[in-house]
Structure 1
């Protein structure tokens, strides 16, 4: 009796596993029936699997479309289950793809939430997380530009220096699109970033009425910005991925803002005018 119960439990566990891999209860019943009985007609399968006659063709066609059941050219048509190892591999691939798509969907939702919540103060009062080019950071850049009253000083170094242009371009574009003629913007680009943007930079400058000055520098620095000499932001490169950011630190402490401003002025002095 204990051996029977153990076998019954193992069968139930396997059924549960097959359904977790994407089979419905009817699909599992049909597939298992074909494994036990061998090639059979739809009528025979319906009888042996207890799947209603009105559903059997839909179930068989669905399994055939997923390449879990093969048809034989006999009359009447007979169906056969494919090798279980192959079937499980195919189900696993399907399930992986479904979960991957669900991950992307949830990631997009998370990005939208970051965008909605970014303007609120972070829990630790200073640090936001966000990857380069993500919708949350694009929205955050746009929001910061809209807070400028007089001037913005900004340095593009690490991690933009190692990132692909098409990934960070939208963030840079927000600076130009969101600025107006009433403010001035001083850009310092690391030469690698400058080269990556060389094809689009004139068009970016043309889209804004702000007073824009651009300089390039060979020195590799962290990226940072200063808004109206009263608040600042500092990019934190990712500790393991050189082309990615770990986060963005908002700074309101006047001493730190002044120190960053001093660093910017030194870089500006050593940089070469571009436009």
Structure 2
């Protein structure tokens, strides 16, 4: 997980920004050397950082670049991304309203209402059995029964050659049992990623049929929309791919072995309230390395804050 990916920036922008945390001010050539690329490759990334208000340019011959503090620059970008997602939610609901009453070819409604928890569970099973190529899904609340439950049918469908890609919300990994269930699926072939704040619950089969809540603002776990091949399904697929790009890959091998001894020590020092600079001196690494590794560990734990990371690590038996 990289700091700037959730706000739509790439690895090169992320590396340049983090490099400036250590260098304070630097030329493009100095930053390129730190990021392991050429100045020509780095300059477009610097322009994007300037456009997003994350760095500022000082002078021209040569130009120096200085960091804008994260707590000053990032909140507006985060708010903008949240606004984009809110607009996407509204658009999905508008399309659902337009399509719900419109019949598809052959007289079959584009959107059907599925009511009742048993009916929803039966629809999920039926869709999986009908899948021929790929199932993509966002595993997020609301859950039938109040919590995420193992998908036993997935293992047999993976064995049949159906691909699965899942984006998991924090609530889907609320306990070691949930993490163990996800690990069984990833070991069987599921590709999994984690996005702690995701709320756009969906289940899409072969990019033609989808199951999703009636509303993303007033969700009922026992009511779903079954959407057949239409523009609405296309929108959902695009939405999923955007979330997939932002999410952090789940490393089943790393989860199986748990954190390294160095990671356990890092988490323990963080939980004790030590600052990154002090942790770096204790571990004999750079402050930038500490920040990066903590960000990765927080993503793996499904935590948005360091306090949450400490709680999740304790629950997982890492501390």
With structure 2 as the length reference, what TM-score do the two structures score? 0.39
Compare the two structures and name the one with the higher strand fraction: 1
With structure 1 as the length reference, what TM-score do the two structures score? 0.44
Structure of higher CA gyration radius: 1
